[in-house]
Structure 1
Amino acid sequence: MRMEAIDFKKLLREERKRNKNSNRQNNNIRDQEEIKKLQKNDTDHVDHGKENNVNNWNYPNNGFLELRELRLRSICEDPQSISYSSTALHNKVEAALTNWLQNIPSGDDGLGNWKTMKHGKRRVCMFGEEEGQSKFQHPQRRQDEMTVMCMLPPPLIEIARELVKRDVFPSSCPPNHVLLNEYQPGQGILSHTDGPIYDHRTATLSLGSDIVIEFTKRLAADEIGTVTETTKTVLLESGSLLVFQGDAYLNYCHGIPMDVLQDITTDECLNAPPHQITTRGPRYSLTFRHKKGNSKYSE
């Protein structure tokens, strides 16, 4: 009987790969657990001492901002339901939003203040929704304002209104939850899904540095280690809007590579030619979602 030689180098490489994936998964779990803790306390937390900073919205046109003509286009067939607009924000809106974000106070819970994550070191800030009168001061509202009074500060409620107006979100499920991320060069977020507590739709505005986001096909348990992961990328430009839902939300993980100072597009990039080099700088993302169970309009 012929004995097959054991390739110890191959076994060692596979073991290292498993350990690397395991460590990455553990870090991702810890990172997501921090987010879940913030979400758990989201609707119970009220701190009126921090309202002044987030209410300080100095913008012309009586405080109302508008998105550009969105020209959202579907940019791929697989995963389905990824849309992108490179010019969602006017320059003056982008500058005003950046100034507002920079003036949000730091804190230790991330609810209406910037919290530094233990893993990844990026800063996050959440604003959630509660039914009833908003605690934030808003300019006089238009007559066609959506009836849900989101627990969002002035600029975010105006963006939420615009997203409904432009049919990014249905009026029956308007954005009622916003996650802000602040990234410094080299910072990112491990591949993850947003989970079932939200309606299966996410809209993200990007400010500051351009960056590449990855969408990776989720594998079934019996496919892990036997099927090659399918990864697509999208170049997120400053002032852009990325919307994904359905298949892309449910069946793909998304993340931003960590410990990277330059992004180089490949043939897998859905909206830019390959070999385009982007040097990372400070960046903000504003992710709008509809959190289930927080509104009388939720199913």
Structure 2
Amino acid sequence: MRAVLLAAGYGTRLDRDLRNDKSGLYAHLIGVPKPLLPIGKLPLLSHWINIFKKCSAISTIVVVVNELHKELYEKWAASLDTKVCIVSDGSICNDQRSGAVTCMQLGLQKKKEDTLFIAGDTLLKKDFSLDAVISEFKKLQTKIKCASLILCAPVAEENVSKTGIIEVSNAGKVTKFVEKPQPSEVTSRIQSPCFYIIAKESLEHLEWFLKEKQDKPLKARDATGTFISELIHRAPVYTYQVSHRYDVGNLQSYIHCHQDFLKEAQKSNCPQKSNCPMKQ
């Protein structure tokens, strides 16, 4: 299985927050792409690389980046003990961005195999098991060969308009996908972050989608959810539920994610003694 990390965005919201922050505590992060931000003790993407290394099903890792930050990603990849292929979408500024669905296609490198797509600004709780998700996908494949599997998680009311919202049948099949709706527009409070295992049989729909949208405004193919919202009408898509998703979209969400991972690291390094402050 191929793993494609989508890291070609320009993080405009976070960049604005960093430049407007008066504390000065995060000024050193200005200019750092979101997927390379330090989360706990590692760059965000490195958390995924460590997960992939433990999963025998992942045979190829591709990171789709923009041309502006390509050197930073190549330097990061060179520091790893795992082979990572860096692919550029050729853009050098936000106005030139190709859109996330186009980046999904670039990550395939013309190969047709079951593919895991993950947004480069997304992380999950430490107890997340990629093996469990892939096992569920394989189980699904024995029943429906072209079925894909996407993650879902509860979403707070105030965050409904910041993510893709789905409706799901009792059997776990996605029946509706709305990208960043207003809370009044949907009754569901289930979000679908960009974490999709797309079956190789359904990848042809990605090509079809991009051909159909090529002459339309970028908005029509900018978010990965625009593809999923149409895929569900052409091939079966099911869900795998997790308890929480970190979306590093602005400074506040970055700080929250970073601090949570620092706490987890401290727990892991804390000696198992009764006077350990983390165990009080």
| TM-score bin (small chain) | under 0.3
**TM superposition score normalised by structure 1:** 0.24
Greater Cα radius of gyration, structure 1 or 2:
1
The structure that is helix-richer by fraction is: 2
**TM superposition score normalised by structure 2:** 0.25
Q: Which has the higher contact order (CA 8 A, sep 6+)?
A: 2
